[in-house]
Structure 1
Amino acid sequence: MAGRRVVVFPSSVELGPALAHLVTSRAEKAIVSRGRFTLGLSGGSLVSMLSKELLAMPDLDCSKWVFGFCDERLVSFDDPESTYGLYKSQFFSKVSIPDSGILTIDPSLSVNECAEDYTCKLKKAFPDDDFPVFDLLLLGMGPDGHTCSLFPEHPLLEETKKIVAPISDSPKPPPQRVTMTFPVVNSARSVAFVSTGGSKAAVLKEVLEGREGPALPAARVVPTNGELFWLVDEPAAASLTIPVERLVSGAKL
């Protein structure tokens, strides 16, 4: 692994522009090297933050970007729980992206068929990789330490062969979802967690400073050959005792 950077911002107001710069700088690098930029998205509060900040970037050009989803809820796209649906209304509809640049699930399928269908789409988009190698994955973390739809003590944490796995018993509704597996997450060239708010302070300490017993899912994100960022605000970092970087408004990663 190229190393873990824990970067603390005064608040999410300063974090957002730095995240957008990280995305666009990795995009420029990827397009120069490989002719395209592959970005894996997560839902939750990340949707509005990322959409707002990317749309504020001057000369944003997404024509060579390919978007995937780190996990997705098995609901129709017009359901407020649909991560794709949220990004479509807040971001995709406002920029020029070819249809082939957005890899979505088929919500009309059963959860098992949906996972297989999404696996096929990723294999087609990444034909040369055993596991898809995204340029950047953006991840969130729940108060229980889950990331993607990989939950504590769930059998999917041990999945080593599947690219996309179905889950029918998510402890967080809706119960049916599909999720990237750890082999895919840890194959990425860059991974960035975004975690904000005081409600995340205790679990962030457990994830970053270790805990007794099994590692929480977010702590198992260790890119094999990639870089790992934790972008957090002061309230989320309140309990940390490890060395961190502190960046001020306007700073770039």
Structure 2
Amino acid sequence: MSDLQKIQNQIKDKLLLGINEGMVRFPILDPAFIQTHSQVEEKESPFLNISKCSACSLSDKRKRVLVESKMNSKPFFVLSDFPDTVDEESNEVFSILSPISSIVLNLMNKLNILNGCHFSFAIKCVPERGLPENAIKACSLQNLSQEIFHVEPKIILCFGYRALHSLVHLDKNLNSSDFLENSEITNMSIRGLSIRVFFLPSIRDLRDFPHWRRDVWNVLQPLALKANL
């Protein structure tokens, strides 16, 4: 072996040693770690995007968009039609001071599933008079889809026809005209998730017809008992 070849081999050995030391100091990331963190980035909370929504004319006069700032995975997704002014004035999505929202909050508390619920509205701004024609569809496609995907619920508790109609925009296999209140309807599919859906009377109907609450209780109690929260 010539002197030149010896020198080349020594340089090669030093380079390999440096590479191996670098791998020890800065090991290659485990693929599972990379996948997990890429999923975290992909599932970044949509709160900021939703809170800036301008999809319909309700954004012109609203005080705020009513959406949960912390979107953790929850087994139950409680969906109502739209908030009232008491909800809007509070710091919550469903306010315990609201004569409407408090009905559901108390119901979930009595069922012992309150902490397992994510609360949401199909329309996230308070309508002054009537709903704009495109409001449900626009809010559903732009906001509700992100919210459901992030929360990954097992069950959606859908209170009222408007709330159900918002889900129809996300899954065309749902046909709101075929469903009866206080029943489980067809599972909905959204971005790879398969979710059980229960169609219930609107919360405003539960306020106006208190005797209907017993029927809702009978539907939800078995689900609550199985939840083991």
TM-score, length basis structure 1: 0.26
The structure with the greater share of residues assigned to strand is: 1
The structure with the greater share of residues assigned to helix is: 2
TM-score, length basis structure 2: 0.28
